[in-house]
Amino acid sequence: MHDSALKPSLGMLDVVAITVSAVTPASSVFVIAPFAISQAGSGAFLAFVLAALLALMFAWCYAELGRAHTSAGGEYVYAKRVFGGMAGYATFLTVMVMLLFIPPVLATGAATYFNSALGTQFDTQTVALAIVAASYGLGILNIRVNAWVTGIFLLCEVAALLVIVVLGFGNISQPLSVLTQPQHIDHGLLTAAPWALVIAAMGTALFSYNGFGGAVVLAEDMKDGGRSNHHAVLWSLALVVAIELIPIGALLLGAPSLQDMLASPDPIGYLLTAHGNETLSRLVSAGIFLSVFNAIIAIVIQSGRVVFSSGRDQLWTPALNRLFTRIHPRWESPWLATLFLGVPSAALTFSSNLEGLTSFTVLLLVMVYLAVALCALFSRVLRSDREHPYRMPLWPLPALLATIGAGYLLLNGLLDASVRDTLIILGILAVSVILYSTYGKLSPTFQKR
């Protein structure tokens, strides 16, 4: 007989460290923020502020659901309990595909910074494969060990961002109005940026904050039984916003020439070149690499908990359910569940279409956000039999705003999606129907609401 229960060993700060690490604030600033700057110019700062407000709506949804429906399964468990088994299966498969794609996407991006830090020219796919393999190897270790590992790497990540903060605020060259009065480059000239560009950049900014909700899948690992899990969600978002927003403000204020920075394909490189040197640039690249590597480890830990929960809920064949719920006697982790996505995730590092993988992953993310928002909107009504220890302020307004925001982003994403991506999403829904009609209806655990 194998132990099939997670050992509660994490405090709230441990959960926050792992969750913030999964968000990778440094890579968001160094990789994603430049896209927002190219979209909206200096309006990127306001886009990040507005996205933070929308993210708060989602955080309140996660916080309330995480306390009312404590489970390592996270989003799919909420969907199952609020809307039924079919919704649960569809959400579960969407989350699984998203967790499958994120590590190779991040690892491929990290390979560039690995070479920049060391001054090497290793093959990108080889480096990405090594990163994914190492992340899954570390992901099966004791959760306390991983909390320390991710915490240390997170400090390195923050140190890299502090370089931008010091260089920017130490060499302020632009007025504060540059943050509140958006400007962009139009036909080579610096002009006022229309608000439509700022709103358009909100989607990019929201993606940079993504991951704060991952705290809910670690609720069963908490020593207090998940009673402080809602605090972990909200603190994770607060830290992520601060860690990202402050450097972006410093970046814009420290630009010797706002026009040159906005016209540059690498605005952060422009600042480092203007106020730093090559050694500093390499150190920052090392920090970015460690931040992405750290994120993949944290995501692997979270994915292992989701697969573990699916085995406990008997979503698979009896043999797979037994394997996924095995806890390693020494590492006290759901090691087989954690390794489940390892091979296909590593195989995706050989894909040459990184941009396509990224856009599809964002589409899946918005689908999951919409499911969470709808669950938070209807959980109190459809599950009045279940206690809601934490209640978001001003309900149902935050949940309604989150639903509208996710619905708007999803509609725009689907309109721009390729035929292949649309067919994959339809395939996920079709497989959901098949699995629910077979194993799902036969599982007394999954049917239990």
Count of residues making up the chain: 449
Confidence of residue 94 (pLDDT cuts 50, 70, 90): very high
Per-residue pLDDT at 448? 66
Of the spans 27-31, 69-73, 112-116, 256-260, which averages the highest pLDDT?
256-260
User: What average pLDDT does the segment 83-111 reach?
Assistant: 88
Q: Provide the 3-class DSSP secondary structure of residue 190.
A: strand
- pLDDT over threshold 80, residue 174: yes
Per-residue pLDDT at 447? 66
Per-residue pLDDT at 449? 60
Per-residue pLDDT at 18? 87
Per-residue pLDDT at 339? 94
Three-state helix/strand/coil letters over 31-49: HHHHHHHHHHHHHHHHHHH
| Dihedral sign computed on CA atoms, order 2, 8, 10, 12 | positive
| Dihedral sign computed on CA atoms, order 272, 278, 281, 285 | positive
- pLDDT over threshold 80, residue 316: yes
Confidence of residue 66 (pLDDT cuts 50, 70, 90): very high
The DSSP letter of residue 437 is I
Query: Which two structure tokens, joined as six digits, stand for 311?
Result: 């085995």
pLDDT in tens, 267-288: 888 888 888 777 888 888 888 8
Q: Percentage of residues in the chain with pLDDT exceeding 70?
A: 97
The residue ranking higher by pLDDT, 163 or 440, is 163
Per-residue pLDDT at 238? 97
Quote the pTM value: 0.86
Q: 196 with 319: CB under 8 angstroms?
A: no
- pLDDT over threshold 70, residue 356: no
The residue ranking higher by pLDDT, 27 or 190, is 190
Q: Tally Cβ neighbours within 10 Å of residue 199.
A: 14
Q: Percentage of residues in the chain with pLDDT exceeding 90?
A: 47
pLDDT in tens, 411-439: 988 888 889 889 999 999 999 999 888 87
pLDDT in tens, 201-213: 888 888 889 889 9
Q: What are phi and psi of 276, to 5 degrees?
A: -120, -150
Query: Which two structure tokens, joined as six digits, stand for 62?
Result: 């996660």
Nearest residue to 217 (alpha-carbon basis) of 97, 383, 334, 391: 334
Per-residue pLDDT at 2? 46
Per-residue pLDDT at 191? 93
The residue ranking higher by pLDDT, 31 or 104, is 104
Q: Provide the 3-class DSSP secondary structure of residue 145.
A: helix
pLDDT in tens, 239-257: 999 999 999 999 999 999 9
Residue burial 369-387, b: 16+ Cβ < 10 Å; e: rest? bbbbbbbbbebbeebeeee
Question: Mean pLDDT, the chain, as a whole number?
Answer: 88
Per-residue pLDDT at 1? 38
- State the burial class of residue 424 (Cβ atoms within 10 Å of its Cβ: 0-12, 13-18, 19+): middle
Pairing of strands 189-192, 183-186: antiparallel
Q: Tally Cβ neighbours within 10 Å of residue 358.
A: 17
> Radius of gyration of the chain from Cα atoms?
22
Q: 175 with 40: CB under 8 angstroms?
A: no
| Dihedral sign computed on CA atoms, order 10, 14, 16, 22 | negative
- pLDDT over threshold 80, residue 114: yes
